[in-house]
Amino acid sequence: MENKEAKLKEYARLLIEVGLNLQKGQTLMLSSPVECADFALLCADAAYDVGCREVVPDLFDMRLIREKYLRAADEIFDEFPEWKRHFETDYAEAGAASLSVGGYDPEILSGVDPDRLTRADRASEKPLERSRHLYMANIVPWCIASLPVPAWAKKVFPGCPEEEAMEKLWDAIFAAVRITGDGKAVERWKEHLAVMEARKNRLNALRFKSLHYTNSLGTDLTVELPEGHLWAAGTSVTPKGQVFVANMPTEEIFTAPLKTGVNGVVYAALPLSDSGNIIDGFHFVVKDGRIVEYHAEKGEEFLRHAVEVDENASYFGEVALVPYDSVISNMGILFYGSLFDENARCHLAFGDAYPECIEGGQDMSQEELQAHGLNHSIQHCDFMIGTADLSIIGTTHEGEEIPVFVNGNFAL
């Protein structure tokens, strides 16, 4: 790949300077699989270049995690280490930024007992409640980005030799984050974020009461939006005014649905990689906000884990608009990873809602957020529903119907 070293350094700078907008004297929590440690080092270098106080590494190996789920003593999946609670919470409480980089085999946990996954997630609920809130409410900046690893690359480009698959995935990731090797990615991101901001403002001005989704897959879903809902796009802001981009890439404009206001049926348009397994050919039947029925052609037991991990996981927390004709979608690549696939298609998420999606949400307690109609769960699982023929009709509080999407793309 031409100028790969320069592109890697530009990518690292982009994540630190735009993704996190890391401030002088701020601590950075840096999470990465061991396979991506070389790039993590570039990120650390970029962080120290802008005056980072300390880079705190959190390296892991998904192969060891797989062995744990397969072979560890059964009782540990009902426990959560106290040291890990402190590690996750104390740095966040102190205002540390969080950067997660890397990739992994989308089926790395294939064959694992889904009951162990469910119990482990439930065991983390109370210990990590505070740290989850600090990040979900954008109290501290965070950013997620992906890197190729061989197992992932071979899944995305089956039949290609490993080296070729890795190069193709690198090319796709660089294109998705607008890195071409000319050193102007920051300028391109500013232009991209400005376009998203303008469209977000248009949606906020319309103050829709509900959205109605239909397409040829069989989706026929009405999503009611809560009073005072806000659309978000591209950038988020901490209470201290630190602007950051939580997902790189990002193409979505999103808000929160009313917890009890989703009704109908919705079909997934792409496979879902969740908890190290592939779930495919699935749909949900939804009544009064709750998923009351679900079916999957593949991985239904893992879909059950996702939907039933806690009592509110079966309610929705996000509705996101992404044009079918977008940078990532036009690549024609199924990434088997939500960070990219969710930015190629319109999607929904069941589980937790983002506090920034309601007026004054950052300053609200969980009880107040729920009183305003937002869902709360340890789950937040995005799945893709966008198609080339997707129609979304918005209805205002005055009863006016306005096309939001026509044939898979924005009509506004």
Count of Cβ atoms closer than 10 Å to residue 68 Cβ: 15
Residue 242 has pLDDT above 90, yes or no: yes
C-alpha separations of 112 from 203, 216, 275 in Å:
43, 35, 10
**pLDDT for the residue numbered 104:** 86
Instruction: Please check whether residue 302 is in contact with residue 391, taking contact to mean a CB–CB distance below 8 angstroms.
Output: no
Q: Residue 2's pLDDT is what?
A: 63
**How confident is the model at residue 109, as a pLDDT?**
93
pLDDT-derived band at 326 (thresholds 50, 70, 90) equals confident
CATH class of this structure's domain 4-176: alpha beta
Amino acid of residue 334: L
pLDDT at 338: 85
| Predicted local confidence at residue 210, as pLDDT | 98
**Structure confidence at residue 312 as a pLDDT band (50, 70, 90):** very high
Phi, psi at 216, each rounded to 5°: -75, -10
Checking if the pLDDT of 1 tops 70, the result is: no
- Domain ranges for the chain, please list them: 4-176, 206-231+250-410
Quick check: 122 and 309 in contact, CB under 8 A?
yes
Instruction: Note whether 104 and 152 are within 8 A (CB).
Output: yes
Question: How many CA within 13 A on the CB side of residue 119?
Answer: 12
- What average pLDDT does the segment 294-306 reach? 95
Q: What are the tens digits of pLDDT across the range 4-49?
A: 999 999 999 999 999 999 999 999 999 999 999 999 999 999 999 9
Q: What is the mean pLDDT of residues 243-253?
A: 95
The pLDDT value given to residue 3: 87
Contact 149, 33 (CB under 8 A): yes
Instruction: Give 412's pLDDT tier (boundaries 50, 70, 90).
Output: confident
Question: What average pLDDT does the structure give for the chain?
Answer: 95
At 267, phi and psi to the nearest 5? -110, 135
Predicted local distance difference test score (pLDDT) of residue 274? 86
Based on the number of CB atoms within 10 Å of its own CB, is 161 exposed (0-12), middle (13-18) or buried (19 or more)?
Answer: exposed
Give residue 167's pLDDT.
96
